[in-house]
């Protein structure tokens, strides 16, 4: 785009549409960018009546296309977070953008802001979006990512564990994540463009979660090489997220699932969630909740000594011997929140070994293994 065209940018857009798109796109702006220009939001107005908003930090890109009344096409670059704050604060009236020299005037009703532009020519070229590998419902994808993302590590010193492992084999997809204390695995089906497709990718859990939350309708997922680097892309209804893959060898964690289960206990999911929530109120930070499985019931205990204490019992269908173990209150609550069936099953082997949590539609029915949450115990009582 030449300099003369850049001087004539002008368009009008709906305030709510603008605020929604700007807010979502700018979430991908890095907190500590390598260069100042990466704090910018790239805005491109087109003669066909569309406006593209984009950010890119050499690893993750986010793009949103919105409709607008474009009087003069062109591209501008402004502070992304500042524009997001402004867009959310504007009154519910049409918003006009007009470039004048080195500033962009943003007018909405009686409100007017003048924003300094940044050099468009210094902004990195956006990555090309690869061809679609497969398609699935955005709502199903969002649910699956949410179930697994809880187990991604938040410790940036171990970047490999901040990633989610994506395994594609034909029409089956498996998402897997672990932070060393727990492991979440979700399996589901999708519609691949190539029925024989096989691929494995590591993607930042945060990127996956943000992409999933923003999509609606059907989501197109693409896994391919772009610009000499492997990347994953998500596209849905005018919004696109691309991300370079995390490099490294993911730990072989599937072996943590026990081959044989000595003890199983089935409880009502909602009842157990509420009991854990109540008992957790007195649990000190990092102190476990004790789980006692015996005599057709589960007894939860928290607190000890001179501290506040809580106890609650609820019915449980138990197969195998009695067992007492304990779990981090936050981790067990997060896992139970992802079980969307009426009943939940705990599969145990011994107190010091991890529990495998899964859902069940009926108390005496089959275990639903499409989602499994493995949690390491804590035995400091």
- Note the pLDDT of residue 2: 41
Q: Would you place residue 5 in the very low, low, confident or very high pLDDT band (cuts 50, 70, 90)?
A: very low
User: What does the pLDDT read at residue 156?
Assistant: 85
Confidence of residue 52 (pLDDT cuts 50, 70, 90): very high
**Does the pLDDT at position 130 exceed 90?**
no
59 burial level (CB within 10 Å; 0-12, 13-18, 19+): middle
Per-residue pLDDT at 4: 41
pLDDT at residue number 227: 64
Nearest residue to 165 via CA among 108, 121, 98, 223: 223
Provide the 10 A C-beta neighbour count for residue 110: 7
Q: Taking the model in full, what pTM does it have? A: 0.88
Cα–Cα distance for residue pair 345/358, rounded to 1 Å: 5
The C-alpha atoms of residue 181 and residue 328 are separated, in whole angstroms, by: 10
* Structure confidence at residue 3 (pLDDT): 41
The closest of 278, 150, 280, 164 to 221, measured between CA atoms, is 164
pLDDT > 60? residue 209: yes
More confident site: 96 or 223? 96
Task: Determine the Cα–Cα distance for residues 311 and 279; give it in Å rounded to an integer.
Answer: 7
Residue range 269-293: mean pLDDT, rounded: 93
Residue 244 has pLDDT above 50, yes or no: yes
Q: How confident is the model at residue 31 (pLDDT cuts 50, 70, 90)?
A: confident
**In the block, which residue shows the tokens 């596209």?**
235
> Residues 314-360: pLDDT tens digits?
999 999 999 999 999 999 999 999 999 999 999 999 999 999 999 99
Q: Which of 113-122, 230-239, 301-310 has the lowest mean pLDDT?
A: 301-310
Q: Looking at residues 131-143, what average pLDDT do you find? A: 95
* Among candidate residues 357, 309, 353, 361, the one with its CA nearest the CA of residue 331: 357
């Amino acid at each position: 785009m030449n300099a003369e065209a850049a001087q004539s940018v002008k368009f009008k857009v709906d305030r709510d549409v603008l605020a929604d798109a700007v807010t979502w796109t700018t979430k991908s702006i890095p907190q500590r960018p390598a260069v100042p220009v990466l704090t910018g939001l790239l805005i491109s107005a087109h003669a066909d009546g569309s406006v593209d908003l984009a950010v890119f930090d050499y690893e993750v890109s986010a793009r949103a296309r919105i409709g607008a009344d474009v009087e003069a096409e062109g591209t501008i670059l402004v502070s992304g977070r500042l524009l997001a704050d402004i867009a959310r604060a504007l009154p519910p009236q049409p918003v006009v953008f007009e470039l004048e020299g080195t500033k962009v005037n943003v007018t909405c009703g009686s409100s007017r802001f003048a924003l300094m532009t940044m050099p468009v020519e210094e902004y990195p070229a956006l990555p090309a979006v690869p061809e679609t590998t497969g398609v699935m419902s955005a709502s199903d994808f969002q649910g699956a990512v949410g179930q697994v993302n809880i187990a991604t590590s938040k410790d940036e010193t171990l970047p490999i564990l901040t990633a989610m492992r994506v395994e594609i084999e034909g029409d089956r997809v498996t998402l897997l994540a672990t932070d060393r204390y727990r492991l979440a695995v979700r399996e589901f089906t999708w519609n691949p463009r190539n029925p024989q497709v096989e691929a494995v990718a590591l993607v930042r859990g945060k990127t996956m979660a943000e992409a999933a939350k923003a999509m609606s309708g059907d989501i197109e997922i693409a896994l391919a090489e772009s610009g000499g680097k492997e990347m994953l892309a998500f596209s849905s209804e005018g919004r696109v997220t691309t991300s370079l893959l995390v490099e490294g060898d993911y730990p072989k964690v599937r072996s943590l699932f026990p081959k044989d289960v000595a003890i199983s206990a089935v409880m009502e999911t909602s009842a157990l969630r509420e009991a854990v929530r109540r008992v957790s109120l007195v649990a000190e930070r990092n102190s476990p909740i004790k789980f006692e499985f015996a005599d057709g019931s589960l007894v939860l205990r928290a607190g000890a000594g001179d501290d506040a204490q809580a106890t609650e019992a609820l019915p449980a269908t138990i197969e195998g011997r009695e067992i007492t173990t304990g779990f981090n209150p936050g981790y067990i609550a997060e896992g139970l929140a992802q079980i969307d069936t009426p009943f939940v099953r705990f599969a145990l082997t011994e107190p010091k070994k991890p529990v495998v949590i899964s859902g069940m539609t009926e108390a005496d029915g089959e275990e639903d293994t499409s989602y499994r949450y493995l949690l390491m115990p804590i035995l400091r009582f």
